[in-house]
Homo-oligomer: A and B are copies of this chain.
Amino acid sequence: MAEDERVLLAHGSGGRLSHELVAQVFVPPWENPILSRLDDSAVFRLGDGTEPPLAFTTDSYVVKPLFFKGGDIGRLAVCGTVNDLAMSGARPLYLSAGFVIEEGLTMTDLRAIVQSMREAAEEAGVQIVAGDTKVVEKGSADGLFINTAGLGLLRSGLHISGEGAQVGDIVILSGSIGDHGIAVLSQREGLDFESPVSSDVAPLNHMVAAMLEVSPQIHVLRDPTRGGVATSLNEIAGQSSVGIHIREETIPLKPGVWAACEMLGLDPLYVANEGKLVAMVSRADADKVLEAVRGSTYGREAAIIGEVIPEPQGKVLMETAVGGTRIVHMLVGEMLPRIC
């Protein structure tokens, strides 16, 4: 990365350039053992080290537009951070919320978003305990950006990490893909599809709790947001030094999302989700974990979509619906800016 380079939209895609930016610009100066794991949450113990571990995470939300079918930036800001905590196996407890508001935002919109955060927090069972508001001049931001940071408590004995996938593990996906990205894009571009798509934005912590109830030995959990399922699986394959084999025909996809992706030339594997997770669990535990996911509010369409294989390390292979096998790469470039 030359020193006269500039930050591009693609650096925020969640795909390859995002990973390079983090690896080259942020991690070397900030290097520490907690940060360097690069999971969805930082996990550490306070005090003398005998107390239960905590999970801590942050995300900024810049979705455009602020309101879309199935949600808004407020619901997104609560659920996204709750889900990052849940993906470490933690029970989310407390959130902070930092607002950067563009002068001129209507109080009606602001109140609706604050109320939406309250409802999402109630649903997830978390409290918003700290906040901050900054206002910038008209033209210096785009309506509203929200940052939420979250704090959760881990049960001792869990070892959930992107580094934990083991050869033979079964890959579970909690439901249909691409709903959030297509819902936001449709709203933004004023597209009308025959079957309108709603965002899946939802808190997944209750689903994760049900999964851990039946199997505390879950190896990997990740919510495939920016960059979609393809990018999350590539991250895990890389972190765990394994291959991942998935079957296209097993991946749940709503007809409306399929139609929108066909029309727009998008691959749903790269489209953002905000209420889905992928899990990797031992073959022995797969059925009961799948059953737990299907029994939860947001997991009724869950499916087994593949398994962890020894080779090729760091790669994701997909058996396509027509019978071939192709490599599924990490997202390159920026497909859908400002999707979350």
Contacts and interface: CB of A to CB of B under 8 A. Distances in A.
A318 to B, nearest CB: 28
Contact of A134 (B46, B62, B103, B127): B62
Contacts of A321: none
A56 B7 contact: no
Contacts of A61: 134
A25 B97 contact: no
Contact of A114 (B25, B135, B338): B25
A130 B98 contact: no
A1 interface: yes
A173 B108 CA distance: 40
B59 A54 contact: no
B58 A6 contact: no
A176 B101 CA distance: 31
A22 interface: yes
B12 A101 contact: yes
Given A11-B135, A133-B11, A98 B32 contact: no
B141 A29 contact: no
Interface of A is mostly: mixed
A50 B134 CA distance: 36
Interface string A282-326: 000000000000000000000000000000000000000000000
B9 A58 contact: no
Interface in A1-34: 1-12, 18, 21-22, 25-26, 29-30, 32, 34
A148 to B, nearest CB: 8
A132 interface: yes
Given A56-B96, A136-B338, A131 B35 contact: yes
A145 B100 contact: yes
Contacts of A121: 30
A52 B50 CA distance: 13
Q: Which of A1, A115, A133 has the most CB of B within 10 A?
A: A133
A149 interface: yes
Given A30-B114, A129-B35, A142-B140, A135 B104 contact: no
**Ranked 9 nearest A-B pairs via Cβ:** A12-B135, A149-B149, A58-B96, A147-B147, A42-B129, A60-B98, A140-B142, A29-B118, A34-B129
Given A58-B132, A100-B147, A136-B337, 12 more contacts: A1-B107, A7-B106, A8-B103, A30-B121, A34-B127, A42-B96, A46-B153, A47-B153, A56-B151, A60-B134, A134-B338, A139-B139
